[in-house]
């Protein structure tokens, strides 16, 4: 096997080890009493009422999929998160390139962009619900506001980081603005862009779930809120587990696309 393959297998093993250790600790801390006895109430590091148990959470996840209860909620959150991710990323990429290529425009709007980015999104969520209703679009818009600024600032910085020597040589060779965009600016911003997209995946889902949590009739956020209302911690954690797995799958898709588009980039040497 090659060194890269060995390194990849070792990495996966270490990642799995972290998960196994965390689950074992959770299991023993929630099932094995470390105090009490002699008629006294047993005491646990992680009381089941507050932390449930990993086996029960796993059983609830299986139950949600087996009964089909989760599919409607999962689809709604998937649709909202995907739309927020696509729209927010597209706006961030386009405007990031545009502002980076126009210094005067960037300088004029710089304070306004920073002010809008500083607004707490939780405060905006009820306003979006008032404007767009309790349907999917209020959640999509909330997700867009989270995704847009992450992608915008990264793409903007990526374009600004273009090597001035390469840019000067390209202009000396007579490249047009379109050729500069394709062969110089775009490759320079690509790594920055995908770095932001990995982060944006989680924020797109966060926007959808927070919006559902505050007001909706379906979605993972709505389902988690329902479980919280009856103090069903097992259901809450099951929803969170499904949500985390959901985000990992989308992030993996982004990684696959990134590897295909960045084949030209030399591999990073790892010790």
Task: Give the pLDDT mean for 79-94.
Answer: 91
Buried b (16+ CB within 10 A) or exposed e, 56-75: bbeebbeebeeeeebeebbe
Give the model's confidence band at 83: pLDDT under 50 very low, under 70 low, under 90 confident, else very high.
very high
Output phi, psi for 40, to 5 deg: -85, 155
Whether residue 4 has pLDDT greater than 50: yes
| pLDDT of amino acid 6 | 59
Whether residue 101 has pLDDT greater than 70: yes
List the single range of 66-70, 87-91, 127-131, 156-160 with lowest mean pLDDT: 156-160
List the single range of 45-49, 224-228, 233-237, 263-267 with lowest mean pLDDT: 263-267
Mean pLDDT of the chain: 82
In the numeric block, the tokens 């949590």 are attached to 213
| pLDDT of amino acid 60 | 93
Whether residue 14 has pLDDT greater than 70: yes
How far, in Å, are 7, 25, 244 from residue 53 at the CA level?
33, 11, 17
List the single range of 28-32, 96-100, 110-114, 256-260 with lowest mean pLDDT: 256-260
Give the model's confidence band at 271: pLDDT under 50 very low, under 70 low, under 90 confident, else very high.
very low
In whole angstroms, give the CA distance from residue 256 to residue 207. Answer: 24
| pLDDT of amino acid 1 | 47
Give the tokens for residue 58: 């796993």
- Radius of gyration for the alpha carbons in the chain, expressed in angstroms and rounded: 24
Q: Please list, in sequence order, all residues whose beta carbon lies within 8 angstroms of the beta carbon of residue 258, skipping any fewer than 6 positions away.
A: 194, 197
Report pLDDT digits (tens) over 36-75: 656 667 788 888 888 889 999 999 999 999 998 889 988 9
For the chain, what are the domain ranges?
Answer: 1-48, 52-261
CATH topology assigned to domain 52-261: MetI-like fold (1.10.3720)
Q: Which residue has the higher pLDDT, 41 or 87?
A: 87
Q: Which residue has the higher pLDDT, 67 or 4?
A: 67
Whether residue 261 has pLDDT greater than 70: no
């Amino acid at each position: 096997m090659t060194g890269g393959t060995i390194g990849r297998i070792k990495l996966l093993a270490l990642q799995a080890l972290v998960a196994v250790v965390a689950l074992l600790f959770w299991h023993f801390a929630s099932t094995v009493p470390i105090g009490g006895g002699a008629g006294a109430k047993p005491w646990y590091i992680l009381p089941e009422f507050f932390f449930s148990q990993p086996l029960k959470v796993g059983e609830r996840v299986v139950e949600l999929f087996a009964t089909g209860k989760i599919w409607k909620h999962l689809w709604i959150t998937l649709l909202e998160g995907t739309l927020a991710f696509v729209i927010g990323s597209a706006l961030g990429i386009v405007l990031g390139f545009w502002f980076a290529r126009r210094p005067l425009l960037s300088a004029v709007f710089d304070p306004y962009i920073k002010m809008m980015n500083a607004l707490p999104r939780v405060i905006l969520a009820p306003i979006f619900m008032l404007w767009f209703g309790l349907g999917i679009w209020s959640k999509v818009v909330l997700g867009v506001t989270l995704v847009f600024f992450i992608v915008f600032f990264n793409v903007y910085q990526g374009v600004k980081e273009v090597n001035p020597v390469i840019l000067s040589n390209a202009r000396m060779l007579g490249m047009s603005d379109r050729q500069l965009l394709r062969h110089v600016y775009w490759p320079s911003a690509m790594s920055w862009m995908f770095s932001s997209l990995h982060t944006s995946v989680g924020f797109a889902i966060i926007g959808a779930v927070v919006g559902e949590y505050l007001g909706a009739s379906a979605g993972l956020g709505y389902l988690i809120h329902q479980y919280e209302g009856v103090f069903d911690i097992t259901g809450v954690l099951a929803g969170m587990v499904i949500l985390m797995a959901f985000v990992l799958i989308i992030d993996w898709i982004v990684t696959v696309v990134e590897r295909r588009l960045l084949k030209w980039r030399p591999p990073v040497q790892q010790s």
